[in-house]
Homo-oligomer: A and B are copies of this chain.
Amino acid sequence: MAKTKIEQTIQIIKDQISNKSLIAGSRLPSVRQLAAQLNCSVSTIVEAYARLVAEGILESRLGSGYYVLGKTDEILFVEPETQYQREIDPLWISRQSLEAKNEVLKPGCGWLPTSWMPEHSVRKALKQAAKSDAVMLIDYAIPHGHLELRKLIARKKELYQLKSQLNQIMITDSATQSIDLIFRYLLTAGDVILIDDPCYFNFRALIKAHHLKAVAIPFTKNGPDVEKFEQALRLKPKIYLTNSGIHNPTGTVISLQTVYQISKLVEQTDLMIIEDEIFADFEYTPAPRYASFTGFKHVIQIGSFTKTLSAAVRCGYIIADPKLVESLIDLRIATNFSHSFLNAEIIYQALMDSSYPKHLDWLKKQLLKLTNEMIPKLSRLGIRPWIIPTAGIFLWCTLPKGIQAAELSKLCLKYGVILAPGNSFSQMDEAGQFMRFNVTQCVDKRVFDTLEMAIQQLKTH
């Protein structure tokens, strides 16, 4: 694209700073001088100087002119280091995946490749949002959050036969933030919390940040082990945190019987179930939900739009008892003040567009196809799925005998492949031979080539 005169002028000045012909503290020529020198209009120079002030490169001193600001040259042209080495802990996969450069392969990460996401819908929603009332662009949101988005969430929950009033719903900035707020309000350090084993590794990071005592309930192919769950109730846990739709990392869907058994147990206690709905939009047929059985007396639902719409537009929700929501709002004001009204508006616009359900249909078909193709590819390496999921993006697999997931992950990282070793998901450290694969991140043949080479290497040593 051809540069405008203003952009050319800005580039000339930046070049002079970079080659030190203009050093920090130097006064720039007057607007008229430079206009004459560069043979352009005074207004061009005025705008160029104004933009350089906005960029923090020049400083305007009243009545005195423009000066090069501080050590601008050093900051302007430096690239930050992003080296980061650490032991495998619950944050290991997140940090590795978030820091990863483009050329790195990420079969271990928990999200879809950018190209699989509805980029068009997000851009369209953004343009729509640019036309909305100033209030949406400028002001704090009302305490419960974006009204129309709450209405939409309430309507969508009807699919699960779940009734919710608008004052039971609050908009947050993410599913993680939703859980964090609930933990902060309902729990204190040392409290007992039940989690699935295996479970989403960030649940473990969150529990650590809150200094809670996590008690792991083995997750079977039908959901949590009911007998173990009942035994654990003796420890007076305050919360059970789970994904009851599509379970992370196993891809399991909980059975109707299990939901019924657990619901009956929970109704006799003060325990709250937090039901994380983050993978709900990947489901073909809605799996049973705890909230549909017991209502919001014993269940809090949380969710977000990160997995199927955008992770850059932060938006999530909480559905709970209205009084609890009131208290959570107070806590949110104290600790975050407001959710992003604009993000909620963008999400709302994207969800309301007919292209989103169409995208979901396409996505679900792709996932099914890819999962079916991937199973034999893994089998050839001696890697076998623990269960064949009916929906979602994950395959929870056992590794060939003698291969440890942590070792394999460290080795593959050297070759530019980020894996998700089983024990990151296991409170009881009993998943050392398991690995979670994200099927959408395994399209590149190099994933399997690297796995094969690394497994061979580990076997011979």
Measured CA separation A59–B155 after assembly (Å): 10
Measured CA separation A84–B193 after assembly (Å): 33
Determine if A137 and B313 form an interchain contact, defined as CB atoms under 8 angstroms apart.
yes
In the complex, per-residue mask of A323-363: 1 if CB is within 8 Å of any chain B CB, else 0: 00000001101111111111100100001111011100000
Say yes or no: is A263 at the interface (Cβ < 8 Å to chain B).
no
Measured CA separation A90–B334 after assembly (Å): 9
Q: Which of B50, B95, B114 contacts A139 (CB 8 A)?
A: B114
Instruction: With both chains docked as a complex, state the minimum distance between the C-beta of A340 and any C-beta of chain B, in angstroms.
Output: 4
Q: Which of A171-205 contact B (CB under 8 A)?
A: 173-174, 176-177, 180, 184, 189, 202, 205
Known: A134-B119, A209-B184, A312-B137. A163 touches B340 (CB 8 A): no
**Residue of B whose beta carbon sits closest to that of A205:** B334
Determine if B98 and A143 form an interchain contact, defined as CB atoms under 8 angstroms apart.
yes
Determine if A111 and B127 form an interchain contact, defined as CB atoms under 8 angstroms apart.
no
Measured CA separation A321–B335 after assembly (Å): 22
Determine if B331 and A209 form an interchain contact, defined as CB atoms under 8 angstroms apart.
yes
Determine if A340 and B173 form an interchain contact, defined as CB atoms under 8 angstroms apart.
yes
Determine if A174 and B338 form an interchain contact, defined as CB atoms under 8 angstroms apart.
yes
Determine if A312 and B335 form an interchain contact, defined as CB atoms under 8 angstroms apart.
no
Determine if B130 and A94 form an interchain contact, defined as CB atoms under 8 angstroms apart.
no
Determine if A54 and B336 form an interchain contact, defined as CB atoms under 8 angstroms apart.
no
**For residue A75, which residues in chain B have a CB less than 8 angstroms away from its CB?**
151, 154-155, 158, 166
Determine if B136 and A351 form an interchain contact, defined as CB atoms under 8 angstroms apart.
no
Determine if B137 and A202 form an interchain contact, defined as CB atoms under 8 angstroms apart.
no
Determine if B55 and A352 form an interchain contact, defined as CB atoms under 8 angstroms apart.
yes
Say yes or no: is A314 at the interface (Cβ < 8 Å to chain B).
yes
Determine if A358 and B50 form an interchain contact, defined as CB atoms under 8 angstroms apart.
yes
Determine if A335 and B151 form an interchain contact, defined as CB atoms under 8 angstroms apart.
no
- A: number of interface residues (CB 8 Å): 100
Known: A71-B158, A130-B127, A336-B177. A147 touches B80 (CB 8 A): yes
Determine if B137 and A123 form an interchain contact, defined as CB atoms under 8 angstroms apart.
yes
Q: Which of B123, B127, B189, B206 contacts A334 (CB 8 A)?
A: B206
Q: Which of B76, B343, B356 contacts A340 (CB 8 A)?
A: B343
Instruction: With both chains docked as a complex, state the minimum distance between the C-beta of A270 and any C-beta of chain B, in angstroms.
Output: 22
Instruction: With both chains docked as a complex, state the minimum distance between the C-beta of A414 and any C-beta of chain B, in angstroms.
Output: 21
**Residue of B whose beta carbon sits closest to that of A313:** B342
Measured CA separation A312–B155 after assembly (Å): 25
Measured CA separation A147–B82 after assembly (Å): 11
Interface centre among A189, A334, A357 (most CB of B within 10 A): A334
Cβ contacts A to B, 30 pairs, < 8 Å: A50-B357, A50-B358, A54-B351, A54-B352, A54-B354, A54-B356, A56-B155, A59-B159, A60-B357, A80-B165, A80-B167, A98-B140, A98-B338, A111-B140, A114-B139, A117-B138, A119-B138, A122-B137, A137-B312, A138-B310, A138-B311, A138-B312, A141-B312, A173-B336, A176-B334, A180-B336, A205-B330, A206-B334, A310-B342, A343-B343
Measured CB to CB, the residues of A under 8 A from B are 47, 50-51, 53-57, 59-60, 69-72, 75-76, 78, 80-82, 90-91, 94-95, 98-99, 111, 114-115, 117, 119, 122-123, 126-127, 129-130, 134-144, 147, 150-152, 154-156, 158-159, 161, 163, 165-167, 173-174, 176-177, 180, 184, 189, 202, 205-206, 208-209, 310-314, 330-331, 333-343, 346, 351-354, 356-358
